[in-house]
Amino acid sequence: MSNLTLERLLEEDLRRVSEIHRVCFSSDSKMPGDSLIWLKSNLSAAPRFQYYVAKKEDQIVGYILWMELGGFRNDAVLELEQIGVSPGYRSQGVGTFLIQESLREYIRTVLVPQERKLKLVKITTGTENKAQELYKKTLGAEPECVIRDLFGSDELVMLARYEQIKNKLTP
């Protein structure tokens, strides 16, 4: 999808991202306000957690959350913690844009200035989730293992090592 821009999530955008979160992850929250609390707590945990949003004509159409695992190591391990795209913008390249552009931005603005490098990306997703193809296509992620009954169903852990990722991030 063309005409998308990538920005860091700002606190004033939390309500809109919360709407997308509630639609994409309806089983994550019992109460309507839970989504906003969840998002706000993650936003306040920077630099370990990094949110980015995709905008089209100044409207937020999707978001992504990256989480750094295991401390701030020289060889960084990131988890693609969550990605959500507004229903009207799905299957239009927003997810691909969010993954690739936000990861480039993370490497450029977080890892490079600290003289660190990306080692791998971990993704945990439902075994039936069609997004597995997106992770394979955009990152080169491959299945690593299945965790049975993690969130009420089986979850697949996928890994993408830097050697796989670097070819996908080249413009």
Going by pLDDT thresholds of 50, 70 and 90, the confidence category of residue 171 is: low
pLDDT digits (tens, 9 = 90+) for 58-107: 999 999 999 999 999 999 999 999 999 999 999 999 999 999 999 999 99
Confidence (pTM): 0.93
Q: Are 78 and 122 within 8 A, CB to CB?
A: yes
Q: Supply the pLDDT for residue 170.
A: 67
Grouping H, G, I as helix, E, B as strand and the rest as coil, residue 36 is: helix
Give pLDDT, residue 96: 96
In this predicted structure, the answer to whether residue 1 has a pLDDT above a threshold of 60 is no
| First and final C-alpha spacing in the chain | 15
- Position 91, amino acid: S
Q: What was the pLDDT predicted at 83?
A: 97
Q: Which long-range contacts (CB under 8 A, 24 or more apart) does 128-137 make?
A: 128/153, 129/156, 131/83, 131/95, 132/156, 132/158, 134/95, 134/96, 134/99, 135/80, 135/99, 135/160, 137/96, 137/168
Measured CA to CA, the distance from residue 92 to residue 143 in angstroms comes to 25
